[in-house]
Amino acid sequence: MQVAKEAVEVIAKVKGGGKELVILLEKEEMIQAKMTKSGAILVPLSADKDGVYKIPLPIRKKNPYILLHLEERGGNGFGQIVCDINGRRLRPFYVEKSVGRFNVANEAAIVCALSLQGSVSDLTIKTYSVRRNNSNVVIKKNRVFKGRNSNLPEHLSKFKDAAKAAVRKSQCQKCKHLHFVT
């Protein structure tokens, strides 16, 4: 069975700068930046030991958007679903079999389910929000629920559909599709 470990990455998205900025980042900052078809540059940010993501100076000058990079994944005992903080479905930018990748601005939620022999043993709902000053980014994590799916409190009913999808994903044997997308 897979271990429940949500994959949350932070990406700075810059419009403009071209190939020159990508080369500069790779040479001076030792960062693997990628240019999209539309010409935007995606720069993965790394956290220090305190969980603070530093925005490299060449990127800061371009006033980047900060994105949470999240994944729907799982099957065979583990299901991870991505939704907005109100439990609504999101549209992935990339899909490959049972993995959907999402770049979300500002805030999102991850709903994880662990299943043992067909019955749910654990459900966790966490929210993530971006806090940024000029040169740093911090991701605020908040565990809003941990328990059984059947015990989801009324005030969290907005996550009911995402929780059901996470349970289905965790119970899906040899999963080859997404369970909670628009």
Q: Is 80:110 a contact under the CB 8 Å cutoff?
A: yes
The predicted model gives 127-138 an average pLDDT of 93
Q: Helices marked H in the chain — which ranges?
A: 18-24, 57-60, 160-171
The C-alpha torsion from 173 through 175 and 181 to 182, rounded to 10°, is -110
Q: Where are the beta strands (DSSP E) in 26-162?
A: 34-35, 40-45, 52-54, 65-75, 78-83, 94-96, 99-105, 107-116, 119-132, 136-147
Looking at residues 153-158, what average pLDDT do you find?
Answer: 95
On whether the pTM is more than 0.85, the answer is: yes
Task: Quickly state the pLDDT bin for 98 (edges 50, 70, 90).
Answer: confident
Residue 2 has a pLDDT of: 43
